[in-house]
């Protein structure tokens, strides 16, 4: 665990902006995307129930200012000792929290919030009492005190949404948003839920060429076409 990702100022200017979420897109897609602060960050919020988890974090439903949201919290990131990137660069380009902030910010900068992926309402810094409440709901796992506030969806992706899901990959392509983990558990209500593994340009030059081929978007479309259906649910035989 690297203590810097717990620090109050660590992410600001890297993948987070101190600005509040506004309706208008706010940055050119040529520059590093920065996710803005959730508007109601000062409101008390109550976590209601556990919705699911994966390798990067846990998602809960929460009630904030009379609206229900999905809140994603992230496990601490482990610095890779043999990487060619220094720890700060690793946090920026590999840490799922940063990957997800950058990806949602890019969608917003391109006016595509809530189209390819669920809407993101911004980031919040959790207080220690919120961290304790969430830990109690999450089998006492550890996570960093930063969270993303997202649109809550109640259904897994349905086969009748497949055509739209395939069309929406054009949006990811226009946003230079490469998504390696295309699997049914990362889709809900026809939209992508989990951008924790997403890579977005500008990216570290040592790694981007491997990701930056148009073929990856074709692969994404083809992978969706190969999903089979069982009792109205998608199955991907290559799912991790
Ligand atoms: N916005 C959401 N609304 C409802 N459920 C969600 C939402 N986002 C995630 N989930 C649920 O939580 C699970 C884990 O979330 P995910 O973001 O994929 O975590 P990880 O990055 O660890 O894979 C998902 O498979 C899904 O069941
Ligand atoms: Mg996931």
pLDDT of residue 110: 94
Q: Which residue has a Cα nearest atom 11 of ligand 1?
A: 52
CA of 206 to the centre of ligand 2 (A): 26
Q: What is the pLDDT of residues 79-126, one digit of tens each?
A: 999 999 999 999 999 999 999 999 999 999 999 999 999 999 999 999
Characterize the bridge pairing of strands 57-64 and 45-53.
antiparallel
- Whether omega for the bond prior to residue 208 falls within 30 degrees of 0, making it cis, is no
Q: What is the pLDDT of residues 164-176, one digit of tens each?
A: 999 999 999 999 9
pLDDT of residue 209: 62
Q: Which atom of ligand 1 is nearest to the CA of 75?
A: 22
Pocket of ligand 1 (CB under 6 A): 51-57, 59, 70, 72, 118, 150-153, 185-186, 188, 193-194, 196
Q: What's the CATH number of domain 3-235, 3.40.50.11780, 3.30.70.580, 3.30.720.110, 3.30.200.20?
A: 3.30.200.20
Task: Locate the domains of the chain by residue range.
Answer: 3-235
Alpha-helical runs (H) found in the chain: 87-93, 96-109, 128-137, 162-167, 169-174, 208-211, 215-225
Contacts of 58 (CB under 8 A, 6+ apart): 50, 52, 72, 73, 134, 138, 141, 143
């Amino acid at each position: 665990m690297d203590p810097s990702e717990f620090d109050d100022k660590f992410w600001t200017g890297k993948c987070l902006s101190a600005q509040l979420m506004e309706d208008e897109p706010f940055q050119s897609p040529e520059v590093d995307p920065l996710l803005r602060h959730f508007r109601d960050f000062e409101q008390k919020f109550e976590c209601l129930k556990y919705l699911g988890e994966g390798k990067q974090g846990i998602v809960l439903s929460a009630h904030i200012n009379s609206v229900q949201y999905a809140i994603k919290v992230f496990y601490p990131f482990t610095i890779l000792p043999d990487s060619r990137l220094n720890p700060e660069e690793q946090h920026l380009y590999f840490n799922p929290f940063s990957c997800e902030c950058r990806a949602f910010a890019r969608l917003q900068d391109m006016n595509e919030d809530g189209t390819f992926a669920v809407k993101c309402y911004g980031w919040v810094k959790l207080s220690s009492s919120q961290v304790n409440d969430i830990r109690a709901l999450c089998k006492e796992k550890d996570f960093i005190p930063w969270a993303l506030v997202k649109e809550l969806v109640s259904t897994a992706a349905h086969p009748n949404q497949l055509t739209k899901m395939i069309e929406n990959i054009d949006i990811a392509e226009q946003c230079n948003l490469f998504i390696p983990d295309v699997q049914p558990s990362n889709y809900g209500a026809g939209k992508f839920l989990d951008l924790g593994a997403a890579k977005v340009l500008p990216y570290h030059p040592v790694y981007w060429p491997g990701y930056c081929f148009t073929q990856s978007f074709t692969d994404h479309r083809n992978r969706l076409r190969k999903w089979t259906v069982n009792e109205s649910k998608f199955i991907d035989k290559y799912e991790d």
